[in-house]
């Protein structure tokens, strides 16, 4: 791979502002010379992530992640050093000579395929008599809204995009990994989205990472179809509405979460800008974390009917443990934001959302509405709300809510508090999957990628030094899964792995992981699986060296330390670190 000249690396580094870059991933507050926020690389509730704008560096006191703009992007988007440089260079208009830029990595090629598809879908909407344009017009969207959200159209037929890609020499395999194409059993590819209006889903930096597609008629099922997960599209953390919602969220201090793409557009038409929608999935833990890094307060917009109410409560269960304050904006039953906007006007919709009451008002009102005249009914009403109250992490807030519930139900505040405490204990006992214990989600993703590659291509197990890797993998579930996969792969030789047989040897958490990997839609091709394995091994080793360095530094500070041997080891570690770097990030050292 060609090397990017140092002076270009330097130029990019000078041009990019680290506060601006990091600010797209987490909300930062100025404090002295630093900007502070919640760490994007580990889970936390009080900010220990510091960005220093003069030094253009960051450091986390929690997980000790540190570095400059390049390191940040490498970690945040799982890129190699050259990929991070290229990505930032493009953003600030610095050209990198072709010969120096080397082969683009998979992530970059996936993004390029998506950007290409986006341009083709946009063009297909502009064609005279485009059925997509007619549909959007029927839904009352004008040209400026269509432009603003980048809506497009995937024509009927099976090979619109397939042909366009091939005419432009973009590999069908790459487009397939991006989720744009699917494979025919007879060989060859076909378009995944057909006869649908397309919604580009972007990451916080504005890259298209996936698409949502809406059928033109309600008779076409499914009504919504999204492109599948890919190495750059993780539905558990993706939001439609990024990155344009970021600034309004920062300004207003709250984020509005809606259920669908058109809901979001309706709210935007009413002048509500800080709005996001999950992409065809329910809200996840990771979504909760994404929101908490950017704001303290969330408004959930949902339908006023029974199903909407239940969905709202489920979202509360996800958001409360992150310390988010949640308000609930309910539409009248039978309305969606579109119909409400059409009937009541923009002002009314804006008021409904901006003046939304705390979600607990609604939850408590609902429990009380079920009746609380008899002792049994009172107990049921408290029992229905207690598990949610137990998730409120702020003690003062929780105590006040207990009082509110007690008053509404007509029970003693002390008894309600006791019920909430019991619910909290029960919740803890049920326990979380220990998987998330000590690794960040991006670390976890890398390790999952390793397991995934072995699962798809057991012959590659030969590349993996079993004992070394098992010593380095920190998560118990992943560790036992990798051990089982490596052993099974060695035994299987050329043949495929028997997932159920491996599963039967595993404990619950590792088995869940295995099944999650086994149901992922697309398959890795052997080349990228091999690359994933090599990259992950290199990363694991670097991580180990870094940790050992920190440990040595700590020992040196302690009394009676054998300085000479510690220094020698430290030196040796540094040498090793140099050799395990895939490419020395020259010019990027901090
Ligand atoms: Zn951290």
Q: What is the pLDDT of residue 585?
A: 43
Write out 170-238 in H/E/C secondary structure: CCHHHHHHCCCEEECCCCCEEECCCCEEEEEEECCCCCEEEEEEEECCCCCCCCEEECCCECCECCCCC
**How far is the centre of ligand 1, averaged over its atoms, from the C-alpha of 86 (Å)?**
25
Residues 6+ apart with CB under 8 A from 197: 125, 132, 135, 136, 151, 152, 153, 213, 214, 216
**How far is the centre of ligand 1, averaged over its atoms, from the C-alpha of 43 (Å)?**
7
- Contact, 414 vs 446, CB < 8 A? no
**How far is the centre of ligand 1, averaged over its atoms, from the C-alpha of 27 (Å)?**
14
Q: What is the pLDDT of residue 579?
A: 57
Q: What is the pLDDT of residue 428?
A: 65
**How far is the centre of ligand 1, averaged over its atoms, from the C-alpha of 34 (Å)?**
15
Q: Which residue has the tokens 């002048």?
A: 271
**How far is the centre of ligand 1, averaged over its atoms, from the C-alpha of 4 (Å)?**
29
Q: Which helix (H) or strand (E) holds 129?
A: none
Distance between CA atoms of 51 and 23, rounded to whole angstroms?
Answer: 10
| 3-class SS of residue 49 | strand
Q: What is the dihedral of CA 278, 289, 429, 390, to 10 degrees?
A: -90
What per-residue string of b and e applies to 292-317 under the rule 16 or more CB within 10 Å gives b?
bbbbeebbbbbbbeeebbebbbebbe
**How far is the centre of ligand 1, averaged over its atoms, from the C-alpha of 47 (Å)?**
9
What interhelical angle do 261-269 and 346-354 show, nearest 10?
A: 110
Length of the chain as a residue count:
590
Q: What is the pLDDT of residue 577?
A: 59
Instruction: Enumerate residues with CB within 5 Å of ligand 1 (an ion).
Output: 39, 41-42, 60, 62-63
**What are the helix and strand counts (H, E) for the chain?**
27, 16
pTM of the model: 0.69
Q: What is the pLDDT of residue 582?
A: 45
Q: Which residue has the tokens 């917009």?
A: 301
DSSP 573: H
Name the residue among 472, 452, 468 with its Cα closest to residue 460.
452
Q: What is the pLDDT of residue 112?
A: 94
**How far is the centre of ligand 1, averaged over its atoms, from the C-alpha of 385 (Å)?**
33
**How far is the centre of ligand 1, averaged over its atoms, from the C-alpha of 74 (Å)?**
15
**How far is the centre of ligand 1, averaged over its atoms, from the C-alpha of 49 (Å)?**
6
Distance between CA atoms of 401 and 222, rounded to whole angstroms?
Answer: 41
Distance between CA atoms of 107 and 445, rounded to whole angstroms?
Answer: 14
Distance between CA atoms of 521 and 541, rounded to whole angstroms?
Answer: 30
Residues 6+ apart with CB under 8 A from 188: none
Name the residue among 281, 278, 275 with its Cα closest to residue 256.
275
DSSP 157: S
Q: What is the pLDDT of residue 445?
A: 80
Residue 26: how many other CB atoms lie within 10 Å: 22
The pair of three-digit structure tokens given for residue 44, joined into one six-digit string: 């936390």
Distance between CA atoms of 351 and 347, rounded to whole angstroms?
Answer: 6
The pair of three-digit structure tokens given for residue 578, joined into one six-digit string: 């140099």
Q: What is the pLDDT along the chain (590 residues), one digit of tens a residue?
A: 457 888 889 889 889 999 999 999 999 998 887 899 999 988 888 899 999 888 788 988 888 888 899 999 988 887 788 889 988 998 888 888 765 556 677 888 999 999 999 999 999 999 999 999 999 999 999 999 999 999 999 999 899 999 999 999 999 999 999 999 999 988 899 999 999 999 999 999 899 999 999 999 988 889 999 999 998 999 998 999 999 999 999 899 999 999 899 999 999 999 999 999 999 888 998 899 889 989 999 999 988 888 888 889 999 999 999 899 999 999 998 899 999 999 999 999 999 999 999 999 999 999 999 899 999 999 999 999 999 999 998 889 999 999 999 999 999 999 999 999 988 887 765 543 333 334 566 777 888 888 888 888 888 888 888 888 888 887 778 888 898 898 888 887 777 787 777 877 787 778 778 877 776 655 678 888 888 898 898 888 888 887 777 777 777 776 666 777 777 777 776 666 565 544 444 444 33
- The pLDDT mean for the chain works out to 87
Residues 348-381: tens digit of each pLDDT: 999 999 999 999 999 999 999 989 999 999 999 9
**How far is the centre of ligand 1, averaged over its atoms, from the C-alpha of 38 (Å)?**
8
List domains and CATH numbers for the chain.
6-101 (3.90.580.10), 106-226 (3.90.980.10), 239-357 (3.40.1360.10), 363-431 (no CATH), 438-580 (1.10.860.10)
**How far is the centre of ligand 1, averaged over its atoms, from the C-alpha of 547 (Å)?**
14
**How far is the centre of ligand 1, averaged over its atoms, from the C-alpha of 321 (Å)?**
18
Q: What is the pLDDT of residue 42?
A: 85
**How far is the centre of ligand 1, averaged over its atoms, from the C-alpha of 319 (Å)?**
20
The pair of three-digit structure tokens given for residue 137, joined into one six-digit string: 């017009």
What per-residue string of b and e applies to 504-514 under the rule 16 or more CB within 10 Å gives b?
eebeebbbbbb
**How far is the centre of ligand 1, averaged over its atoms, from the C-alpha of 391 (Å)?**
23
Write out 384-445 in H/E/C secondary structure: HHHHHHCCCCCHHHHHHHHHHHHHHHCCCHHHHHHHHHHHHHHHHHHCCCHHHCCCCHHHHH
């Amino acid at each position: 791979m060609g090397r990017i000249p140092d002076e270009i690396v330097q130029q990019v580094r000078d041009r990019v502002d680290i506060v601006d870059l990091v600010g797209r991933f987490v909300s930062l507050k100025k404090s002295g010379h630093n900007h502070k926020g919640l760490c994007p690389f580990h889970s936390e509730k009080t900010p220990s992530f510091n960005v220093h704008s003069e030094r253009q560096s960051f450091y986390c006191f929690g997980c000790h992640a540190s570095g400059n703009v390049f390191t940040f992007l490498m970690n945040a988007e799982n890129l190699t050093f050259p990929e991070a440089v290229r990505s930032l260079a493009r953003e600030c208009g610095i050209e990198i000579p072709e010969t120096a830029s080397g082969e683009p990595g998979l992530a970059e090629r996936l993004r390029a395929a998506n950007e290409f598809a986006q341009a083709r879908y946009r063009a297909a909407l502009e064609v005279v008599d485009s059925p997509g344009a007619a549909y959007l017009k029927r839904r009352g969207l004008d040209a400026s809204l269509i432009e603003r959200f980048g809506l497009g159209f995937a024509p009927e037929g099976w090979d619109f995009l397939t042909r366009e890609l091939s005419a432009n020499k973009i590999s069908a395999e790459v487009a397939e990994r991006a989720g744009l194409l699917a494979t025919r059993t007879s060989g060859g590819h076909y378009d995944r989205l057909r006869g649908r209006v397309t919604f580009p889903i972007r990451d916080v930096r504005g890259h298209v990472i996936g698409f949502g597609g809406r059928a033109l008629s309600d008779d076409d099922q499914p009504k919504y179809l999204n492109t599948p997960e890919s190495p750059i599209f993780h539905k558990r953390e993706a939001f439609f509405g990024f990155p344009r919602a970021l600034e309004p969220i920062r300004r207003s201090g709250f984020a509005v979460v809606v259920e669908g793409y058109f809901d979001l557009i309706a709210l935007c038409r009413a002048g509500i800008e800080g709005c996001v929608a999950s992409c065809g999935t329910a809200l996840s833990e990771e979504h909760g974390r994404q929101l908490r890094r950017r704001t303290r307060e969330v408004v959930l917009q949902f339908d006023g009917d029974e199903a909407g109410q239940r969905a709202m409560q489920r979202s509360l269960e996800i958001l409360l443990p992150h310390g988010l304050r949640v308000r609930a904006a309910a539409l009248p039953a039978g309305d969606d934001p579109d119909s409400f906007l059409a009937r009541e006007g923009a002002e009314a919709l804006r008021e409904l959302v901006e003046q939304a009451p705390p979600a607990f008002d609604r939850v408590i009102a609902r429990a009380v509405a079920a009746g609380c005249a008899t002792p049994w009914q009172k107990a049921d009403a408290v029992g229905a709300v207690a598990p949610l109250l137990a998730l409120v992490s702020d003690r003062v807030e929780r105590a006040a809510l207990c009082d509110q519930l007690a008053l509404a139900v007509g029970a003693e505040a002390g008894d309600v508090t006791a019920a909430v405490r019991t619910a909290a204990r029960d919740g803890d006992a049920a326990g979380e999957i220990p998987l998330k214990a000590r690794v960040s989600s991006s670390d976890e993703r890398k390790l999952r990628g390793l397991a995934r590659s072995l699962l798809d291509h057991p012959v590659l197990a030969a590349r993996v030094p079993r004992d070394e890797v098992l010593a380095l993998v920190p998560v118990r579930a992943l560790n036992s899964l990798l051990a089982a996969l490596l052993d099974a792969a060695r035994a299987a030789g050329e043949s495929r792995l028997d997932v159920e047989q491996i599963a039967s040897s595993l404990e619950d958490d590792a088995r869940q992981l295995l099944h999650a990997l086994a149901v992922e839609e697309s398959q890795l091709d052997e080349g990228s699986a091999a690359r994933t394995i090599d990259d992950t091994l290199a990363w694991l080793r670097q991580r180990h060296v870094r940790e050992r360095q920190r440990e040595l530094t700590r020992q040196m500070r302690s009394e009676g330390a054998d300085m000479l041997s510690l220094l020698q080891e430290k030196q040796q570690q540094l040498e090793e670190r140099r050799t395990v770097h895939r490419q020395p990030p020259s010019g990027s050292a901090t």
